């Protein structure tokens, strides 16, 4: 009987704070925020990669701060950050800034 309780506890979905932390980690792993400007502004682009990276980095830092202050995001917050991250990732991919192999990291969120 106690084994079943342990199994159920381990199969629970993460709380929203953990889910947001996981999403932030996935985005930071998929996108290099320390890329030199010479690489960001190399050739034609759709949307300004530099400004998009700065915006996304600010969003991530804001949520990292909120989480450190024990603020819990709701599902809408997680979904909004995931949607923004995916859109920016798509533009960065079109601009040749990110590699194809990282697509699944953000797509899972």
pLDDT of residue 104: 53
Q: How many domains does the chain have?
A: 1
Nearest CA-CA partner of 38 in 27, 22, 49? 49
Q: Is 56 part of any domain?
A: yes
pLDDT of residue 52: 92
Q: Is 18 part of any domain?
A: no
Q: What's the Cα-to-Cα distance from 56 to each of 25, 62, 82, 109, rounded to whole Å?
A: 13, 10, 11, 16
pLDDT of residue 73: 97
pLDDT of residue 36: 81
pLDDT of residue 106: 55
Domain holding 86, by residue range, is 41-109
Q: Is 78 part of any domain?
A: yes
Q: Is 9 part of any domain?
A: no
Q: Is 79 part of any domain?
A: yes
Q: Is 33 part of any domain?
A: no
Q: Is 1 part of any domain?
A: no
pLDDT of residue 6: 47
Q: What is the mean pLDDT of each run of 10 residues along the chain (109 residues)?
A: 47 86 95 82 77 95 97 96 95 83 51
pLDDT of residue 5: 47
Q: Is 32 part of any domain?
A: no
pLDDT of residue 14: 82
């Amino acid at each position: 009987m106690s084994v079943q309780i342990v199994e159920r506890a381990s199969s629970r979905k993460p709380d929203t704070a953990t889910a947001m932390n996981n999403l932030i980690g996935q985005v930071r792993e998929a996108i290099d925020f320390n890329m030199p400007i010479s690489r960001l502004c190399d050739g034609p682009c759709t949307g300004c990669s530099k400004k998009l990276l700065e915006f996304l980095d600010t969003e991530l830092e804001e949520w990292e701060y909120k989480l450190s202050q024990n603020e819990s995001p709701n599902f809408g917050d997680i979904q909004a950050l995931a949607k923004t991250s995916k859109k920016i990732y798509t533009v960065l991919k079109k601009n040749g800034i990110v590699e194809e192999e990282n697509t699944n990291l953000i797509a899972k969120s």
